[in-house]
Amino acid sequence: MATRKVGKNIDYVVAIPSYKRAETLKEKTLPVLAKYKIDPKKIHVFVANEEEEEIYKKTLVAGTYGKIIKAVKGIGPVRNFIYDYFSVGKPVVSMDDDIKGFLEFDEKMPRKEKPLVNLEKIIQRGFQECKKANCRLWGVYPVPNGFFMKDKVTTDLKYIIACFEGFFNPGTKGPKGVKINKMGHKDDYESSIQFYKKDGAVVRLNFVAPKTAYYTEPGGLQEFKNTIRSPKGILEGAKWIVKTYPEFAKLNLTKKSGKAEIKLKDSRVKEHT
């Protein structure tokens, strides 16, 4: 894994939006954070309503998290809620509730990967690289496969998967604010584009990846598997992104998964041959 000397540690918070997944959060993301010795006082869990708030309070183990916050329902709305909940500029690590672990690139291993050794270093590295690139959003490689990962940090337009990302909080207002307009699937493509468009860069640490069940875990977006999470809904979401941000996104229908995907590229930047 690439390393570089960094300055003073960043004082960040952890935001976990969660919907109908109290048991999942209890069994997956929270134990993973505990394993990596992330201070539980940093952890803020954002739930949909009062009913969900009570369920989470009864389910989660005291001392494994800091706060449970009654937010709003829907992944787009809750991400906007989080942007407005914390002060502008606050370093935030946003995570899904079904993280099972992390892998890091290791060229010496047969599969070019191994379990991540130090999550805190990755978080600090992400924020420091943002400072270096004068941007606010950082993320990791979206697929936990060492054969695809690289010992490289990039700052061009890349997909920053929202299941594990960090940002200097933009808020939703003003010329530098970020607001998710697409209320369904593909919201993280929109946030990747918006941060890039406003900052001129997004950081991706291509030597780290989260392990999670993107399309299979009950609860969360799977509650909408017959609407926005259906093949039709996913295609509609992809088409909306491409139509709304044509200079940054192209539709890709050739993925082996059979699901509509998006290719991000800044078409304003000419490639040198």
Dump the DSSP string for the chain.
-------SPP--EEEEE-SS-HHHHHHTHHHHHHHTT--GGGEEEEESSHHHHHHHHHHSPTTS-SEEEE--SSHHHHHHHHHHHSPTT-EEEEE-TT--EEEEE-TTSTTSEEE-S-HHHHHHHHHHHHHHHT-SEEEE-SS--TTT--S-EE-SS----TTEEEEE---SSSTT-------STTHHHHHHHHHHHHHS--EEETTEEEE--TTTSSSGGGGGTTTTTSHHHHHHHHHHHHHH-TTTEEEE---TT-S-EEEE--TTSPPP-
pLDDT of residue 227: 46
Query: Which of 260 and 188 is assigned the larger pLDDT?
Result: 188
Q: What percent of the chain has pLDDT over 90?
A: 79
Mean pLDDT of 188-209: 98
pLDDT of residue 252: 85
Query: Which of 254 and 42 is assigned the larger pLDDT?
Result: 42
Is 80 exceeded by the pLDDT of residue 255?
Answer: no
Q: What is the pTM of this model?
A: 0.90
158-174: per-residue pLDDT in tens?
999 999 999 999 999 99
75-110: per-residue pLDDT in tens?
899 999 999 999 999 999 999 999 999 999 999 999
pLDDT of residue 183: 65
pLDDT of residue 269: 83
pLDDT of residue 88: 99
User: Is the Cβ–Cβ distance between 203 and 133 less than 8 Å?
Assistant: yes
Is 60 exceeded by the pLDDT of residue 5?
Answer: no
Is 50 exceeded by the pLDDT of residue 4?
Answer: no
Q: What percent of the chain has pLDDT over 70?
A: 86
217-244: per-residue pLDDT in tens?
555 444 444 445 577 888 888 999 999 9
Going along the chain from its start, the domains and CATH numbers come out as 13-264 (3.90.550)
Is 90 exceeded by the pLDDT of residue 270?
Answer: no
Mean pLDDT of the chain: 91
110-133: per-residue pLDDT in tens?
999 999 999 999 999 999 999 999
pLDDT of residue 265: 95
Query: Which of 65 and 183 is assigned the larger pLDDT?
Result: 65
